[in-house]
């Protein structure tokens, strides 16, 4: 049997999947949604199975196919959440350096100013301006301060970027 973790991004050192509280909540919500969907599909498959010849029954075949997809995603989500390490970026104490959850502004060799937020692999979306903590850019930036330069491997070859800003969300108030 194939390990479902192979379908997703690699684990970081320690075998954990780092994610923000918001990313963790999204995965938990999806897990609940998939479980509810599975219940609905099981009802449809049960109804379709009672309609006679299953070899000619499109509802039955489609339902079974959909159940396999849902079960695969449920296994993935269960494993991902079991190995999740939730990190609140607002709790970061070294706010002058780039760590998980930092929003970093850097200047490229072409004088482009780019702002990204370092998040978990399951949360990363270039369209949203978020990058995976395991991406080449994030790995190059980790630990950097404003004014530091970082060498990044890109598809165009090595590039040097300069960190011009680092910020974190405000800490959550206790109470």
pLDDT along the chain (175 residues), means of 10: 46 73 95 97 89 77 94 95 92 92 95 95 92 94 95 91 95 63
pTM of the model: 0.77
| Whether CATH 3.40.50.300 fits 89-167 | no
Q: pLDDT value at position 174?
A: 54
| Spatial CB neighbours of 99, under 8 Å, sequence gap ≥ 6 | 92, 118, 142, 143
Domain ranges of the chain: 4-86, 89-167
Q: pLDDT value at position 11?
A: 53
Quote the distance between the C-alpha of residue 10 and its chain's center.
Answer: 11
Classify domain 4-86 by CATH number. 1.10.287.180
């Amino acid at each position: 049997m194939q390990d479902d973790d192979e379908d997703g991004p690699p684990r970081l050192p320690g075998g954990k999947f780092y994610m923000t509280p918001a990313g963790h909540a999204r995965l938990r919500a999806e897990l609940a949604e998939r479980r509810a969907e599975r219940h609905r599909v099981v009802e449809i498959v049960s109804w379709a199975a009672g309609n006679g010849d299953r070899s000619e029954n499109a509802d039955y075949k489609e339902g079974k196919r959909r159940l396999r997809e849902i079960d695969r995603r449920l296994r993935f989500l269960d494993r991902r959440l079991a190995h999740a390490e939730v990190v609140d970026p607002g709790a970061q104490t070294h706010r002058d350096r780039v760590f998980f959850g930092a929003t970093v502004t850097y200047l490229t060799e072409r004088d482009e100013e780019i702002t990204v937020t370092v998040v978990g692999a399951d949360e990363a979306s270039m369209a949203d301006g978020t990058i995976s903590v395991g991406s080449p850019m994030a790995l190059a930036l980790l630990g950097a301060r404003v004014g530091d330069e970082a060498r990044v491997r890109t598809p165009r070859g090595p590039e040097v970027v300069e960190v011009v800003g680092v910020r974190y969300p405000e800490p959550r108030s206790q109470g």
